[in-house]
Amino acid sequence: MTDRADLRTDVLVIGGGPAGAAAGYWLARHGVDVTIVERKTFPRDKTCGDGLTPRAVHQLAEMGLTEPLSKYHRYHGLRATGMGRELELQWPSHSVFPSHGYVVRRRELDHMVAQNAVDAGANLLTGHEALDPIIDRGFVRGATVQTKDGVTTDIHAKYVVVADGANSRFGRALGTFRTREWPYGTAIRTYWQTPRHAEPWIESALDVKDRNGNPLPGYGWIFPVGDGTVNIGVGLLSTFRDFKSVNTTHLLDAYAHQVAERWEIDPTRPEAKATSGRIPMGGSVGPKAGPTYLVVGDAAGSVNPFNGEGIDYAYETARMAAQVLFDAISANDPTALQQYPRLLDEEYGDYFKVARLFARVIGRPALMRELTRVGMHSRTLMEWVLRIMANLLREDELGPAEAAYKAAAKIVKLAPNA
């Protein structure tokens, strides 16, 4: 049996993860009447590496969260490992982004950001799943939502923000689709206890090996959480050899054994069963705007293909969407929504195109090996690579990283959109 009630709001946000909570926060700050529906109740977990890079830290600061963030584990940069070598690379300096990151379990991070949206004035309905869009004369005008007890409510809205993550069932109901020819990723992770939980570097392995030392496709990470544990995971791109047939559980097991001694973990005793997720990337999901809705975060495939970061892009795309919706509401002009894809393209279009090409290049094992070999022998080269891959290029300064990126972008601009 279902009870049916009706609610009204100016903007309805589907999903209360990084993208949905940030959209709610920025809309509320603009004085817009906004409701977020989240099917889970906070605190809730989300499969992730938990790594916040300088771009994410910047967005959290912009949302007024510097102080609560400071109690979590802060780190200085990346330790790259590969070919039997190690390089510790400080986050580069930048006029906008800080030179540090944090590692925060998503269980805590997402709760904090969602609460911040509520404190700013957003209405948050947790334990509410959006089932279907409400369509009125061909336009999306809200959603039918349901609680776990089966209570159904129609939430009517002028505009809808789709922030329901990588699988984006709601987005698919509105007609979004992933460009199948473009790369995507998959990753798996869990936590291990270790005395090295508070290391000041996150670590990334460019070569993962099985127990006999044979190379396996994929890259590994170890992110110290500062709470007695490290988050260890492995990721793969769809461009990698054997992508479809790789068993990621076995791959993570191999990586955990590879790093066990150095990281002082018992590879046979993770804190919990490993979980995995898909990573849509490079802006591969669209359309990003309809006449009355915008798509943000993973639902729009916003993850950076260079490194699998998506939290920062979820915050950023949500903020752009909130600005555009505010413009549409204040001018009473729905056509303003069509600015959003243009803004995304200006911000990420060329960069994601270069990154997608990179994903194809490193999918060739011989090239990947050669790049790793050359990179691991040159700190300077790896410093540029880090600046490019973490999207920390400077607009106001033309250093070697910016020059290398510009040269690559020039070539890629001429290439087909792949």
Ligand X SMILES: Cc1cc2nc3c(=O)[nH]c(=O)nc-3n(C[C@H](O)[C@H](O)[C@H](O)COP(=O)(O)OP(=O)(O)OC[C@H]3O[C@@H](n4cnc5c(N)ncnc54)[C@H](O)[C@@H]3O)c2cc1C
Tell me which amino acid residue 288 is: K
Residue appearing with tokens 């392995």? 205
Task: Give 350-385 as a 3 state SS string.
Answer: HHHHHHHHHHHHCCCHHHHHHHHHHHHCCHHHHHHH
Q: Write out the residues near ligand X by the rule CB under 6 A.
A: 14-20, 37-40, 46-51, 56, 129-130, 163-166, 169-170, 187-189, 233, 277, 279, 297-299, 303, 308-312, 314
Mapped onto helix, strand or coil, the DSSP state of residue 7 is: strand
Least Å distance, CB 126 to ligand X, is 9
- CB of 94 closer than 8 Å to CB of 88: no
- CB of 113 closer than 8 Å to CB of 65: yes
Given the complex with ligand X, which of 308 and 363 has the nearer CB atom? 308
Tokens of 251: 């791959």
| H/E run at residue 250 | helix 248-263
Which DSSP state fits 283?
T
Backbone φ and ψ for 203, nearest 5 degrees, come out as: -120, 140
Given the complex with ligand X, which of 170 and 358 has the nearer CB atom? 170
- Dihedral sign, CA of 351, 187, 287, 328? negative
Least Å distance, CB 44 to ligand X, is 7
Whole-angstrom distance, CA of residue 328 vs CA of residue 334: 5
Task: Give 199-242 as a 3 state SS string.
Answer: CCEEEEECCEECCCCCEECCEEEEEECCCCEEEEEEEEECCCCC
Task: Give 74-116 as a 3 state SS string.
Answer: EECEEEEEECCEEEEEECCCCCCCCCCEEECCHHHHHHHHHHH
Given the complex with ligand X, which of 17 and 290 has the nearer CB atom? 17
Given the complex with ligand X, which of 51 and 412 has the nearer CB atom? 51
Given the complex with ligand X, which of 170 and 192 has the nearer CB atom? 170
- CB of 11 closer than 8 Å to CB of 159: yes
Given the complex with ligand X, which of 236 and 324 has the nearer CB atom? 236
Least Å distance, CB 311 to ligand X, is 3
- CB of 257 closer than 8 Å to CB of 211: yes
Whole-angstrom distance, CA of residue 20 vs CA of residue 35: 10
Given the complex with ligand X, which of 125 and 376 has the nearer CB atom? 125
Given the complex with ligand X, which of 22 and 412 has the nearer CB atom? 22
Tokens of 210: 């099985």
Given the complex with ligand X, which of 187 and 328 has the nearer CB atom? 187
Least Å distance, CB 128 to ligand X, is 6
Total residue count of the chain as it appears in this document? 418
Least Å distance, CB 23 to ligand X, is 9
Tokens of 353: 């195109």
Least Å distance, CB 313 to ligand X, is 7
Given the complex with ligand X, which of 124 and 412 has the nearer CB atom? 124
Least Å distance, CB 285 to ligand X, is 11
